[in-house]
Amino acid sequence: MDRWIMHVDMDAFFASVEQRDHEEYRGKPVIVGGLGPRGVVSTASYEARKFGVRSAMPMATARRLCKNGIFVSGSYETYSEVSRQIFEVLSRFSPVIEPLSIDEGFLDITGMEGLMESRREYGMRLKKEIFEATGLVASVGIAPNKFLAKLASDLEKPDGLVVIEKEDIQRVLSPLPVRRIWGVGRRMNEKLAIMGIETIGQLAKTDIRKLEKILGEHSAKHLYDLSRGIDDRPVEPEHEAKSIGREVTFPEDLYSQEDINTALLYLAGQVGWRLRCAGTMAHTIQIKIRFGDFSTYTRRKTLPQPTAYDEDIYATAKELCALVAMPKDLGVRLLGISGSGFGDTAEISLFDAKDTQKKEKLYDAIDALKARFGEGIVTKGKLIK
């Protein structure tokens, strides 16, 4: 049976909620994020994006770019509640949903033709029901796999609805820059550019052996498949996910232990947060490390007790990284941490109730702050240089 996947992503999510709740913000550049001296932009309304304001940009830069902007710190409780309403609507459209973040998710709609006039009509109906439930606009992409569905939801943002039919795949993909492929960062983009590959179409026509030489066998195969619109990853509902993890490819390779530790601390914070959001704990921690020559290693450790705490994850990740010998003259290109083997949270607090409760309080506070100012804001002291 042909697979069909729908990707839903809210437009300028936090900023749109603010515009919905404050009539005077509508049609104006609204920037949501940390307003303190080290604040970072969580998101900006499309009016503010015209001035070049983007997520993750220092707030000071945003203020310079958009002098007449409306700057707000936002209310994460509200966004979480709206997110809950959005996912409630999504659950009416498919039993198989993979939430990707607070405002986006995949739905597997394979074999559901009987419930719809057409896939486009189904997407329209979903957008309409989200709007009725929340007063907010979503962009939707529908395609034969996850990669294409995510790409499709972005193609006509805001208020987009794009269906990529099988016969359209190459036509849609070919002219797009290779950067539009998941996992193609600045470095890989440069490497491909040196080979004369700028568009996805050019990539699809390249001899895979050439790519393997530059990128390594695994990355080459993955990239090559995506360039031809092939992606077999299933939609994985969170409760069935086998691991929760985060990885980053650095704009420049890291050479110093201090930089590596800082990155690990950041990743541990993100993984901890996601575990706690999912209400679960991980028994096994795994790290992934990729060097400048694309050689990649993973190491894992099963802990005596499952955890969702940044410190535990960080300490384990550091220990695991130390097990991988640093090749001479090479820097670290990518680091990743993931947790798996999800434990039963109730069991944990029985073991060590006092300590766990104390930690839980602390983390409740941290999470509330992170939630309020965006994931990037609250980091442990060492990260703030």
Interacting residue ranges for Mg ion, rule: CB under 5 A: 9-10, 13, 103
Only one of the segments 11-19, 125-133, 211-219, 338-346 lies at the binding site for ligand TTP (rule: CB under 6 A); that segment is 11-19
Q: In the annotation, is 319 catalytic?
A: no
- Site string (51-80) toward ligand TTP, x via CB under 6 A: ----xx------------------------
State in angstroms the smallest separation of the CB of 367 from ligand TTP: 13
- Bond prior to 306 in cis (omega within 30° of 0): no
Q: Judged by CB, which is closer to ligand TTP: 11, or 47?
A: 11
Q: From 5-13, 83-91, 265-273, 353-361, give the range in contact with ligand TTP by CB under 6 A.
A: 5-13
- DSSP letters of 291-316? ETT--EEEEEEEEEEEE--HHHHHHH
**Between residue 175 and residue 234, which ones bind ligand TTP under the rule CB under 6 A?**
none
Told to check if 245 binds ligand TTP by CB under 6 A, we report no
Stretch that binds ligand TTP, among 12-20, 86-94, 163-171, 306-314 (CB under 6 A): 12-20
Q: Which does 310 bind (CB under 5 to 8 A by kind): ligand TTP, Mg ion, none?
A: none
Which one of the listed residues 18, 47, 98, 104 is annotated catalytic?
104
* DSSP string covering 38-105: T-BEEEE-HHHHTTT--TTSBHHHHHHH-TT-EEE---HHHHHHHHHHHHHHHHTT-S-EEEEETTEE
Residue position matching structure tokens 């028994």? 283
| Minimum distance, C-beta of residue 278 to ligand TTP, in the bound complex (Å) | 17
Contacting residue, 18, 29, 39, 43, with ligand TTP by CB under 6 A: 43
Report if residue 122 touches ligand TTP, rule: CB under 6 A. Answer: no
Q: Residue 350, class by beta-carbon neighbours within 10 Å (0-12 exposed, 13-18 middle, 19+ buried)?
A: exposed
Comparing CB distances to ligand TTP, the nearer of 104 and 231 is 104
Cα–Cα distance measured from residue 243 to residue 135, given in angstroms and rounded to the nearest whole number? 34
- Would you say 36 or 95 has its CB closer to ligand TTP? 36
Q: How far is the CB of 118 from ligand TTP (least distance, A)?
A: 25
Q: Tell me whether residue 17 or residue 265 sits nearer to Mg ion (CB atom).
A: 17
Q: Is 152 in the site for ligand TTP (CB under 6 A)?
A: no
371 binds ligand TTP (CB under 6 A): no
* Of the residues 4, 5, 9, 244, which one makes contact with ligand TTP according to CB under 6 A: 9
* Tokens 């007790």, residue located: 305
Closest listed residue to residue 333, CA positions, set 198, 223, 186: 186
Strands 104-108 and 97-101: antiparallel
Please give the Cα distance from 20 to 316 (Å, whole number).
44
Q: With contact defined as beta carbons under 8 Å apart, do 201 and 170 qualify?
A: yes
296 forms part of the interface with ligand TTP (CB under 6 A): no
- For residue 12, state whether it binds ligand TTP (rule: CB under 6 A): yes
Smallest gap from residue 180 Cβ to ligand TTP (A): 14
Other CB atoms within 10 A of residue 180 CB: 16
Report the relative pairing of strands 5-10 and 104-108 from DSSP bridges: antiparallel
Angle at the Cα of 301 from the Cα atoms of 300 and 304, rounded to 5 degrees: 160
DSSP, collapsed to helix, strand or coil, labels residue 128 as helix
The yes or no reply on residue 47 touching ligand TTP (CB under 6 A) is no
10-18, 188-196, 264-272, 312-320 -> range binding ligand TTP (CB under 6 A) = 10-18
Among the listed residues 18, 47, 98, 103, the single contact to ligand TTP using CB under 6 A: 103
261 binds, among ligand TTP, Mg ion, none (CB under 5 to 8 A by kind): none
Q: Encoding tokens for residue 264?
A: 């690990």
How far apart CA 283 and CA 307 sit, in angstroms, is 6
Name 254's bridge partners. Answer: 332
Q: Which does 108 bind (CB under 5 to 8 A by kind): ligand TTP, Mg ion, none?
A: none
Q: Give the total of residues touching ligand TTP (CB under 6 A).
A: 18
Measure the CA–CA gap between 348 and 343, rounded to whole angstroms.
8
CA dist., res. 127 & res. 348, Å (int): 41
Active site residues: 104
Please give the residue ranges that form the binding site for ligand TTP (CB under 6 A): 9-14, 42-43, 55-56, 101-104, 157-158, 374-375
